[in-house]
């Protein structure tokens, strides 16, 4: 990454951090784009070079996390069954969060707090998850060689497993990445227990 790209990334991260802090301090609705830009000492015009709206910056950590997951999924061996590849990709994404910079984990936790406190952003995250589910379905269909009911079922089973694993966690529970990993493994174990061998092929 060149100097220009590093500077752009630094500005993007600074805008996300400033926005999350302001959302948590004074509420999402009460925070303006002008305030977010001022906190980073840039113009509102610069803000719009990185994000299209307040919702975009609030959901940026979730969007980034989904991109990391999909990158991990793309790198899984083609010999793995679809659900195994999905599970391993999620394990890899969680491991990157666990082993990464403390600032990244804090950003993840702050973004989750904003989502939980803001119905508008919660709805936005649901739309984001639905779009991501379509991308997962495309990968499952590619691996199976068929975009059919079974591919849709594999995709829906995976996304439901993730929701069961993460939706009811408190912010305090998610601050313990090892605990988060254990809960994830518990939900994957349920799938192994309840499904017949080869169900996702």
List, for residues 77-90, the tens digit of each pLDDT value: 989 999 999 999 99
Q: What's the CATH code, domain 59-194?
A: 1.10.357.10
Closest CA to 145 of 196, 201, 79: 201
pLDDT confidence of residue 100: 83
Question: Over the Cα atoms of the chain, what is R_g?
Answer: 18
pLDDT band at 138 (very low <50, low <70, confident <90, very high): very high
pLDDT band at 168 (very low <50, low <70, confident <90, very high): low
Determine contact, residues 161/191, Cβ cutoff 8 Å: yes
List, for residues 1-23, the tens digit of each pLDDT value: 688 888 999 999 999 999 999 99
The residues of the chain that CATH labels 1.10.357.10 are: 59-194
Determine contact, residues 115/122, Cβ cutoff 8 Å: yes
Task: Write down the pTM of the prediction.
Answer: 0.84
Mean pLDDT in residue range 120-128: 91
Determine contact, residues 76/89, Cβ cutoff 8 Å: yes
Q: Which fold has domain 3-52?
A: Arc Repressor Mutant, subunit A (1.10.10)
The residues of the chain that CATH labels 1.10.10.60 are: 3-52
Long-range contacts of 167-173 (CB under 8 A, 24+ apart): 171/109, 171/112, 171/113, 171/116
Determine contact, residues 33/47, Cβ cutoff 8 Å: yes
pLDDT confidence of residue 3: 83
Q: Which of 33-37, 108-112, 145-149 is the least confident region?
A: 108-112
């Amino acid at each position: 990454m060149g100097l220009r790209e590093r500077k752009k990334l630094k500005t993007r991260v600074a805008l996300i951090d400033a926005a999350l802090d302001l959302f948590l301090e004074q509420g999402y609705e009460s925070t303006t784009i002008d305030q977010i830009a001022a906190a980073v000492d840039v113009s509102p015009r610069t803000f719009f070079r990185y994000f299209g709206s307040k919702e975009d910056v609030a959901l940026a950590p979730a969007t980034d996390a989904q991109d990391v997951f999909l990158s991990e999924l793309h790198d899984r061996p083609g010999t793995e069954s679809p659900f195994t590849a999905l599970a391993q990709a999620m394990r890899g994404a969680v491991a990157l969060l666990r082993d990464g910079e403390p600032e990244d984990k804090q950003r993840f936790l702050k973004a989750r707090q904003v989502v939980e406190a803001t119905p508008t952003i919660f709805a936005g995250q649901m739309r984001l998850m639905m779009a991501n589910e379509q991308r997962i379905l495309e990968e499952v269909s590619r691996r199976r060689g068929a975009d059919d009911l079974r591919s849709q079922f594999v995709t829906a089973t995976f996304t439901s497993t993730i929701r069961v694993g993460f939706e009811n966690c408190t912010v305090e529970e998610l601050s313990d990445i090892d605990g988060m990993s254990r809960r994830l493994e518990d939900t994957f174990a349920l799938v192994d227990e309840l499904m017949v061998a080869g169900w996702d092929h």
